[in-house]
Each structure stands twice: as C-alpha cells, then as structure tokens.
Amino acid sequence: MPKKPPHKPTGMKVGMLTDGGATVGILTFETSTGDVDVALNLEAVGVLSRAINTIELQLRREMPKRR
C-alpha cells in the first residue's frame, strides 16, 4: 500500500521525445496538484500494459454483476 494517497488523474496526454537519437514516449497524468510526466521506452510500455491488464481483471472481478 502507498504511504500517502495516490494522485487521481483528471486527464491524460501522450507524446514522444527524441533526445540524442533515443526516442521515448511521454505519458502525462494531469492531476489537481499538477502534472506527473513519465518517460517510457518500449520495454516499460510492455510492463505497464501488463500491469494495467492485471488491474482491469481485478476490477472486473469485483464489479457487481448486471442482470
């Protein structure tokens, strides 16, 4: 568990940044306390994708079933 409450995004932006020949994706989470920028290479994108899929599966299991 986090030591402090997590940021709650109010929006997101994506972009790309090339610096000295290396390109990374930039994922910006907009929050009420300011933006949180995260630089991602291809390996990090894969890790993040799997983590989001895991969260999605957990949330879907906990959702009340509609009839």
In SS3 terms, 29-56 reads as EEECCEEEEEEECHHHHHHHHHHHHHHH
Number of structural domains found in the chain: 1
Flag whether 58 is in a domain: yes
User: Residue 46's pLDDT is what?
Assistant: 97
Contact 23, 44 (CB under 8 A): no
Residue type, 67: R
User: Residue 1's pLDDT is what?
Assistant: 65
**Domain range for 23:** 9-62
Residue type, 52: I
The parts of the chain modelled with pLDDT lower than 50 are none
Flag whether 2 is in a domain: no
User: Residue 40's pLDDT is what?
Assistant: 96
User: Residue 27's pLDDT is what?
Assistant: 96
User: Residue 67's pLDDT is what?
Assistant: 54
User: Residue 5's pLDDT is what?
Assistant: 86
